[in-house]
Structure 1
Amino acid sequence: MRVLTVLVLIVLVFASPADLNAKVFYAKEEAIRAAFPEADAIEKQTLFLTDDQKKQVETLARTQLDSNLVTMYVGRRGGKLLGYAVIDMHTVRTLPEAVMVVLSPDGRVASTLILAFYEPLDYLPPERWLKQFDQARLTPDLRVGGRIAGITGATLTARAMTESVRKVLALYQVLIAKGER
């Protein structure tokens, strides 16, 4: 019993508060499979945005991109396009969050999935809140306070998630809808 108590104390002393709150919901491969459950092929595409493309995406998304490098997953079944998925990592307040935004072939949001969340779980958006993004396109009202309701006590989470969705929709417009990839 004494050994167990000592081990628990060691974990509590050396574990950071972020580690105690951290929650990984999906591994990357598991999430990609969840994005396209009926796919017989999922292609990973690594895309390098030109400076002009990056600027276009940032203007459309109304937020900054961290890099010119984008990884997009394309799901297909029998050669038929099922959609696109992008995993976005960003900081919510002081800690990271990883989300996956899945788009239908016509560029609408098919689903959003939180892969990992390192802020306190009190700030984690509920599933029903994420459903607000379903079928969304990149429009001026796709923002917190517009089409997207805020989350009481988790405003930064709501804004970060909305920015991620806007980034992925902007990437679709610049790279796919305009045929620039």
Structure 2
Amino acid sequence: MIRRFLILILIVVSFSYASSKKPEEVLKRIYPDSTVEVKNFTLSVQQVENIRQLSKVKFDSKIVSLYIVKKDGKIVAYGYVDIHTVRTKPEVVLYTITPDGKLDVIEVLHFGEPLEYLPDENWLKNFKGKSIYKDSVRVKVDIPNVSGATLTSKAITDYARLALAIWKVLVEDAK
């Protein structure tokens, strides 16, 4: 657990210095004239379990960061960055969620695998408007599979469910 956490910290630090796509900058591009703040959450055992149950994704982190995007003082989106491994290399994906709990924009910030395994932007648009309630968000059922990028499309889809579950537990359930 500690080893995984240290590896995650190393990836985040490396990513933040090596990549030109930083979450705050991407969020400001997606939502012009907005401000972005980061809020860190320490999860309870019950919250971790609720997120696991909702997302059906292996999840054991006790710390989660959400980006809160505001325009004119009003929340317009929440952002969640997930770092995971596809095949053998890291992938960093930004998921944005509307205040009513629907996926808005998904953007790949870093992709370590060969680019031919990366789904195109049009495929990512399949997620827009999906929620944890009505849409199960599954590859080959609700989201089309991408030939030649099966593992990547499955990972992006699984972690979209995770992002929605985190939003539900930390934002909606906290109201």
Scaled by the length of structure 2, the TM-score of the pair is 0.84
Match of 2:54 in 1: 60
1:114-133 paired onto structure 2 within 5 Å: 114-133=108-127
Residues 1:72 and 2:66 aligned together: yes
Q: How does 1:1-181 map to 2 (within 5 A)?
A: 24=19, 26-39=21-34, 41-138=35-132, 139=134, 141-179=136-174
- Distance (Å, rounded) in 2 between the aligned partners of 1:29 and 1:103: 15
Residue type of the alignment partner of 1:126: D
Cα distance in 2 for partners of 1:59, 1:74 equals 24
- List alignment gaps of at least 5 residues for structure 2: 1-17
Runs of 5+ in structure 1 lacking a partner?
Answer: 1-22
Q: CA deviation at 1:24?
A: 4.8
- Cα deviation per residue 1:33-84 (whole Å; 9 max; x = unaligned)? 2343231x32110011111101100111010125111110111122111110
**Once the two structures are superposed, what CA deviation does each residue of 1:109-168 show, in whole Å capped at 9, x if it has no partner?**
110000000011110010010000001101463100111000101110011000111111
Residues 93 and 156 in structure 1, CA contact (< 8 A), matched pair in contact too: yes
Q: CA RMSD in A?
A: 1.7
Alignment check: 8 A CA contact 2:23 2:94 kept: no
The aligned counterpart of 1:10 is: none
Percent of counterpart pairs with the same letter? 34
2:24–2:36 contact (8 Å) kept in structure 1: no
Q: TM-score, structure 1 length as denominator? A: 0.81
Q: Deviations over 1:3-28 (max 9, x none)?
A: xxxxxxxxxxxxxxxxxxxx956133
Does the Cα contact within 8 Å between 2:48 and 2:60 map onto a contact in 1? no
Count of matched residue pairs: 157
